[in-house]
Structure 1
Amino acid sequence: MPTYRDEIVVLRTHKLGEADRIVTMLSKRNGKIRAVAKGVRRTSSRFGARVEPFMVADVQLYRGRSLDIIQQAESLGSYGAEIVVHYDRYTSAHAMVEAADRLNEAEATPQQYLLLVGGLRALAQGAHAPRSILDSYLLRAMALSGWAPGLTECARCGAPGPHDTFLAQSGGMVCDSCAPTGAARVHPSTAALLQALMAGEWDQVDAAGAGASAAASGLIAAYAQWHLERGIRSLSQMSSRRQESIR
């Protein structure tokens, strides 16, 4: 049928003509969708605010030849307002939707949709440190896409852990036999934090020290960007800002 409904989270938008926008969305049942929202840049638009980045909505769309058309939008989660007023939440949310946008169509599953919505909700509520929410999201999103990092066994030979070397290009933690000469070692607290972020053990995540959190974030960013087709620009900007604050 030419008309269909779905639940979506808005990943990004850009202008089209004088009053329209092209909206890129991750949907629950139809994967990634690019659609035109006509007239949403006018002040009289009925649903313009419901198709802004980080918003979750129930939409009705009309199938077009190249782009679908958004006919209706009803809000399911207004997370954008609480995210954009906090810089750390905003940058973490940007990195999350950018990573979701990198997914191939075959990987844009209902589980990916629910994971992203849950992450944006947690950011809006301030449930945990924004960077921790982002790190947990990235690990789980990679796992859902078939790129789960090896954290308890050697990612190359399967030798049981614990191990103390992490190599993004090898798939996670590796044993001494598989680790190249001069590879940087991972502190046990950082290795434990990586496992907690993957498992959603938030008591342990929230109690982690700043050093372990920063180290884990760096490893996760390297891992995610290695497996995605292009780097995540938002992550690079966050890393640059962190380095400036350290100076």
Structure 2
Amino acid sequence: MSASEFAAKSYKTRGLVLRTHKLGEADRIISLLTPEHGLVRAVAKGVRRTSSKMGATLEPFMEIDAQLVHGRNLDVFTQAQLRHSYGLALAADYDAYMAANAMVETAERLCEGEEDAVAPQYRLLHGAIAALARGAGDPGSLLDSYLLRALSTAGWAPSFTTCVNCGEPGPHDSLNIALGGVVCRACRPPGSQSPAPETIALLAALLTGDWPVAAASEPRTRRAAATIVAGYVQWHLEKVVKSLKLVERT
């Protein structure tokens, strides 16, 4: 490939490493979420060799500056420099690590096939991963807050304060996942849930980032909210986020 051909096919981007998969004896396929190019899957050649300069950089949860070349099926990494080594801190905390896995699995589902509207999802995931890495709060609460905000950014914003059907101000004591939040007694369809008021208040706090309220919640309230969030995620993604089952709730 000539210098001009290489320049035409190469591009630079910032990105978060979501996942890695072995390829052959020494290579890996890297799933990279980028703000400009969406979800990129590219080959990192030779990174499984001990002599590789990019091996430690292209690990899950690392934020990097990368240079890639467009390929016929998969792009190819030519350079990668570390911006933030979130993976090192997360690997030392099991709860935070598992929460991060659920975050990146959700982000990958939401951004699959998208390019134009990925930048807000990138910023949201980056902030959530960074918060987990620095131990900014309970990993489960950070995860649930991220999930609610990611779905909201994708166009599925729930409501935990006003009736999703008629707009009547709350508080309301019924919730319907399919409708997207709380419902008043007049609009309550069959099959709606009746969470405790504390659970609905926590869901509202997680959605808006009211961390004093979230931090003051009791473990049973967090578990109840997590079950509702998981159901909401599954409803809209139409698939189970497998990593959510591995997140331990205290």
> Scaled by the length of structure 2, what TM-score is found?
0.91
Following TM superposition, by how much is the alpha carbon of 1:182 offset from its aligned partner in structure 2, in angstroms?
5.8
What residue in structure 2 maps to residue 155 of structure 1?
164
Other-structure match for 1:219: 228
Partner SS for 1:33: strand
Alpha-carbon contact 2:20-2:28 (below 8 Å) kept: yes
Q: Tell me the residue number matched to 1:110.
A: 119
Distance 1:182 1:3 in 2: 53
- Aligned residue for 2:178, secondary structure, equals helix
RMSD of aligned residue pairs (Cα, Å)? 1.6
Work out the CA distance in 2 between the residues paired with 1:156 and 1:7: 41
Unaligned 5+ runs, structure 1: none
Q: Which position in structure 2 is the counterpart of 1:134?
A: 143
2:82 maps to 1:75: yes
Which stretch of the first structure deviates more once superposed, 69-78 or 154-163? 154-163
TM-score scaled by structure 1? 0.93
Are 1:200 and 2:209 an aligned pair? Answer: yes
SS at match of 1:148: coil
The 10-residue stretch of structure 1 (182-191 or 69-78) with the greater mean CA deviation from structure 2: 182-191
Q: Assess if the C-alpha contact under 8 Å between 2:39 and 2:114 holds in 1.
A: no
Deviation at 1:29, TM superposition (A): 0.9
Measure, in 2, the Cα distance between the counterparts of 1:182 and 1:217: 19
* Counterpart Cα distance in 2 of 1:27 and 1:19: 24
Alpha-carbon distance between aligned partners in 2 of 1:212 and 1:20, rounded to the nearest angstrom: 45
Quote the sequence identity (%): 50
- What's the offset of the Cα at 1:179? 2.1
Structure 1 letter corresponding to 2:138:
A
Which aligned pairs between 1:1-247 and structure 2 lie closer than 5 A? 1-103=8-110, 104-106=112-114, 109-181=118-190, 183-238=192-247, 242=249
**Rounded Cα–Cα distance in structure 2 between residues aligned with 1:118 and 1:102:** 18
Post-superposition Cα deviations, 1:90-133, rounded to whole Å, max 9, x if no partner, equal 11011000001101333751111111111111111111000011
Counterpart of 1:200 in structure 2: which amino acid? G
48-57 or 164-173, larger mean C-alpha shift: 164-173
* Counterpart Cα distance in 1 of 2:9 and 2:172: 53
Q: Which runs of 4+ in 1 moved over 6 A?
A: none
AA matched with 1:96: M
Distance (whole Å) between structure 1 residues aligned to residue 22 and residue 191 of structure 2: 49
CA distance in 2, matches of 1:71, 1:178: 57
Q: Is the 8 A contact 1:63 1:69 kept in 2?
A: yes
**What CA distance in whole angstroms lies between the structure 2 residues aligned with 1:5 and 1:35?**
13
Q: Structure 1 residues 12 and 182, CA, compared in 2 at 3 Å: closer, same or farther?
A: closer
